[in-house]
Amino acid sequence: MGLSAGAQAGSVASQLFGGFQQLSDNSADQLINAAGAVDTTLDIGDRLRGIFTIETVEQSPLTNHLGAGSGNDELSGVFDIVVTGKAGGPGAFTFTFAASGALNAYAAGAAAVFFEDNVTDYSRVRTNPGDTTATLEAKVTDGNVFWVVGLAALNSWTAFAISDDVGTIGSVPAPGNGGGYNAALNLLVNNSGKTFNKVACILPTGLGMVDMCASGSLLGTGGVDTPYDAFDNVDFTINLVPEPATMSLLGLGFLGLGAMARRRKAA
């Protein structure tokens, strides 16, 4: 675990670093079959809908914490994507996804929506016996919209998996994983009050500079009581334009270094 940066507690925006950083924690998936299908196999036309949370903002060696126990707001979200391509076979499946349209109320082409909430109630496991995916999602989406992101280009959300059966992925024992995923995302709505530079996101499509690059592993649920089919870890890489005040402090630091060098030269 990295050192705390000692940023002002409270809002998510106050915990972001200037420059490159990684936002990290976990997510959970639910398979929604295409019309007429009733199975656990992920096929073209099926959707994956799920929730995620960001609990750490990392810029080595510093780490800022969000959500429960941190004193800072929670940053969580919901995603909804549809399978547009499927290839491979047993032990080595690959998938491509597009935004499903289910989140278009937030912005046309939305694939995921981030929410900031001062109530830290994200959970991907049941806290009450009757909890459903809708119950847990409602706890995620009751905050204020922070970001809405869409896919940067067609098929820029890809995944590889050991199986096309979501139940098989969900039963993979810890600490092993059932595959991984990558996504190139662009900001459709930005309510953070921050400005971002592009980041490089290398995908099979060869797509280059985007607003946000996501990746993670497909994980089993570990036998916990959850209404979701499978879990994931999740990492988002962003590049925040430093605030003017930060740039001024950097400038003062460089001036100080220059003064020290001049004194050493004079001596």
Q: How many domains does the chain have?
A: 1
Q: Which two tokens stand for residue 3?
A: 């050192």
Range of the domain at 156: 13-242
Give the phi and the psi of residue 42 in degrees, each rounded to 5. -85, 115
Average pLDDT value for the chain: 89
In a domain, 234, yes or no: yes
Question: Is 1 a member of any domain?
Answer: no
Asked whether residue 41 is domain-assigned, the answer is yes
**pLDDT tens track for 167-194:** 999 999 987 789 999 999 999 999 999 9
pLDDT tens for 73-132 read: 999 999 999 999 999 999 999 999 999 999 999 999 999 999 999 999 999 999 999 999
DSSP string covering 60-73:
TTEEEE-STTTTS-
Residue 53: what pLDDT?
Answer: 98
Residue identified by tokens 């997510």 is 27
pTM of the model: 0.88
Angular region, 68: left φ>0, alpha ψ -120 to 50, beta rest: beta
Share of the chain above pLDDT 70, in %: 86
Distance of alpha carbon 121 from alpha carbon 56, whole angstroms: 16
Q: For position 254, what pLDDT does the model report?
A: 46
Instruction: Give pLDDT, residue 104.
Output: 98
Compute the distance between CA of residue 71 and CA of residue 11 in angstroms, rounded to an integer. 9
With tokens 């295409």, the residue in question is: 34
Domain contains 223: yes
In a domain, 131, yes or no: yes
The answer to whether residue 45 is domain-embedded is yes
Average pLDDT over residues 58-85: 97
261 occurs within a structural domain = no
96: tokens are 């491509």
Asked if the structure places residue 255 within a domain, the reply is no
